Amino acid sequence: MKKLCPNLDREDGLETVLEVPIPEEILTHKSGTTKAWHNMKNWMKPHGESRSNSTSMSSVFGGKNTEIQLLLGVVGAPLIPSPIASDNQPITRSIKEQHIEVSMAKYIVKQYVAAVGGERALNCVDSMYAMGQVKMATTEFSAGEGSVNSKKVLKVKNLQMKGEMGGFVVWQKSPELWCLELVVSGYKISAGSDGKVAWRQTPWHHSHASRGPPRPLRRFLQGVDPRSTANLFSNSVCIGEKTVNNEDCFILKLETETSTLRARSNSNVEIVRHTVWGYFSQRTGLLVQLEDSHLLKLKSDEHESIYWETNMESLLQDYRSVDGIQIAHAGKTWVSLIRFGGGPETHSRTRMEEVWQIEEVDFNIKGLSIDCFLPPSDLKREEENEEEAECDGGGLVASNNAKLPYKIRSASFRISASKVAAVNMDDSCTSESDEDL
């Protein structure tokens, strides 16, 4: 990962520090070019439509730009459903006088804490930083068969697309104080929490806050922040065993409370459920796989509703010791985005993948104050009145209908672009005042 950028205008000029490190692959020499840094200069510019994309591919995703927006909106910065409080209480609570499933889960969490380095080592961590690279791609899209406005609905399967390279940086001072900056093919998404509100910012949408209390970034629970992982699953139940990646694992399940779901819902968007599963190795005690499933119910009219289900599955690999704490340095995430309800012509499925690798991790960062986690000045606050009610989700919002993916352009939705965007799991807010598609 490259952290410094040469002065592209003056060769003798001072190098500047990149806001987000750039993967080495971006700087690889291409035939006919004289400087590898020119690749990065082109990479940092907004991309136009890729000529290599087929006609059917463009008709489905609206071109490369929209595909990247979809990837960043859904995969880039999703949040875990339950807030994690930072306190001085022991990570592992008493397992006495509990139901057997609850007691087993607490015992498994105790084993996990011991496996990652012990409670004393985790309690010594005041803040952390991680830097790494990602590769994202859309691997499949399929739309329901039928007709929309007398036109045949397109159906595409196994849509293999070239992965988009990028880099990210995350900072954390406590479970409530964190920030992320992620750049993929020149598109940047920022997200964070100041302890009072979680927010995110993209080039194609204003800054906006999430509904409900601030929650942790899912990327932290992918093996980077063991303490938050232990606190999250301390209230889970053990539901059985399963072999994952040739490891016999215990399965811990955490259901989001009804009150939390209600706080993230409104009159037009209902969060039906949000469930998290953790697969902990019986041999090592470490977290091997993290899954969560998110179901939204959107009212498209008085008599019909559209359902969006997002399933994410992350495989955690390459655990290494950093200051006595085991951190997963690599992994892979599969995402399935499903729309159903209404007629068959409204059904669709999109599959996406992300591969990530951690390059650097450090703890107890000096000089990291609360000022480093302040939200953007243009952050859009939620309004409780009917006209400006804001929905759970967000991420993929485009001002031009033609730029939206085919599954969002479909007139059969009878819902706005912002409501379609609510399929994402980061609970950002989008306005319902957008034009109906």
**Domain map of the chain by residue range?**
3-45+62-87+97-145+159-373
Average pLDDT, the chain: 75
204/358: higher pLDDT: 358
Task: Pick the more confident residue, 423 or 338.
Answer: 338
Task: Report the pLDDT value the prediction gives residue 43, as an integer from 0 to 100.
Answer: 47
- Residues 6 or more apart whose CB falls under 8 angstroms from that of 162 comprise 52, 137
Q: What percent of the chain has pLDDT over 70?
A: 66
User: Could you tell me which residue, 264 or 19, shows the higher pLDDT?
Assistant: 264
Residue 135 backbone dihedrals phi, psi, to 5 degrees: -135, 120
Tokens 């085991």, located at residue: 326
pLDDT-wise least confident of 35-49, 99-113, 416-430 = 416-430
Instruction: Say if residue 282 is exposed, middle or buried (CB neighbours under 10 Å; 0-12, 13-18, 19+).
Output: middle
Q: What does the pLDDT look like over 131-148, one tens digit per residue? A: 999 999 988 877 765 444
Q: For 201, phi and psi rounded to 5 degrees?
A: -140, 135
**DSSP per position, 12-30:** TSPPEEEEEEE-GGGG---
Q: Which residues, other chains included, contact 372 with Cβ-Cβ below 8 Å and sequence gap of 6+? A: 171, 173, 179
Report DSSP state, residue 426: S
Our CA angle for 415, 60, 265, nearest 5°, is 30
Is 397's pLDDT higher than 90?
Answer: no
The average pLDDT across 343-355 equals 84
Report the alpha-carbon distance of residue 276 to residue 262 in Å, rounded: 17
Burial 110-140 (b: 16+ CB within 10 A, else e): bbbbebbbebebbeebebbbbbbbbbbbbeb
Instruction: Return d(Cα 189, Cα 390) in angstroms, integer.
Output: 20
User: Residue 127: which pLDDT band, with cuts at 50, 70 and 90?
Assistant: very high
pTM of the model: 0.77
Better pLDDT: 42 or 128: 128
**Which candidate, 370, 373, 80, 390, places its Cα nearest to that of 215?**
80
**Phi, psi (5° rounding) for residue 221?**
-85, 0
| Each residue's pLDDT tens digit, 183-212 | 988 888 999 998 888 898 887 777 788 877
Residue 215: how many other CB atoms lie within 10 Å: 22
Whole-number pLDDT of residue 425: 40
Which residue, among 195, 147, 192, has the nearest Cα to 171 in the 3D structure?
192
Structure tokens given for 85: 């409080």
